[in-house]
Amino acid sequence: MRAVPIKPLKPWFQTIDDTGLALNWCEFFGNTQPVELDIGCGRGLFLFNAAVTTPGTNFLGLEIDYREGRRTATRLMKRDLKNARVIGGDCRTVLSKLIAPESVAAVHVYFPDPWWKKRHHKRRLFNDEFLLMLTRILQPGGLLHHWTDVADYFEMVLALMERHPQFARCAPPPEREADNDMDYHTSFERKKRKLGLPVYRGLWQRTAQVPDAQASAQQTSVD
């Protein structure tokens, strides 16, 4: 059987190996617009809509599942969107190694994998190390958006954020009725709301000051 050739999707989809070790946003997007990240972008409903409705901002999706990342990138390419890209690979590598300090205006983490079993909770994306990665890359005043349908995950995130005073909690946008079948923020929001499940929304702002102990931990984590 002949192997099916992989569709070239550059620059919409690239792997960590393709991008090299230090991302320069101006070269990467070809402009100086602010950059927002969609971590675990999945099928890219948020990334695509955000890029279309906010052309003055660049959006980068990070997706460990190449098939999903390529599917999202195909939609971006068909529309020839210049302000949206996907990098395939583990977001933690991109966050800790490829992104310059204080160079990101907002981070979106929608419906991260819940890892239901207690013994798997340590695999959850949100933990102290992840928050220190976000602290390093977010500009002071930058925003962290997080939504989930998993009550215990949200409780865990709220407790975690309390331990990180470099993030101040803000009021998230209220839920609104969808106008049509695709009028949802992300594919998972659509799926969960159609099942009648609640969606927990969190919004935090990165404060200007990073407490000393955390600043040195941050420095160590990227050395």
Number of residues lying near ligand SAM (CB under 6 A): 19
Residue 179: active-site member: no
User: What part of residues 115-134 is at the interface with ligand SAM (CB under 6 A)?
Assistant: 125
Count of other CB atoms within 10 angstroms of residue 219: 12
Order of all β-strands in the sheet with 13-15:
13-15, 84-88, 58-63, 35-39, 104-110, 138-148, 200-206, 167-170
In eight-state DSSP terms, residue 94 is: I
Q: Exposed e or buried b for every residue in 87-118, given b needs 16+ CB within 10 A?
A: bbbebeebbbebbeeebbbbbbbbbbeeeeee
Residue nearest to ligand SAM (CB): 40
Quote the least distance from Cβ 214 to ligand SAM, whole Å.
22
Quote the least distance from Cβ 32 to ligand SAM, whole Å.
26
Quote the least distance from Cβ 99 to ligand SAM, whole Å.
13
| Six-digit token string for 79 | 């529309």
Residue that the structure tokens 């792997």 belong to: 15
Query: Contact between 142 and ligand SAM (CB under 6 A)?
Result: no
One of 23, 81, 91, 137 touching ligand SAM (CB under 6 A) = 91
User: What part of residues 8-37 is at the interface with ligand SAM (CB under 6 A)?
Assistant: none
Q: Which is nearer to ligand SAM, 157 or 210 (CB)?
A: 157
Distance of alpha carbon 46 from alpha carbon 79, whole angstroms: 15
Residues that bind ligand SAM (CB under 6 A): 40-42, 62-65, 68, 90-92, 110-113, 125, 186-188
Active site residues per annotation = 113
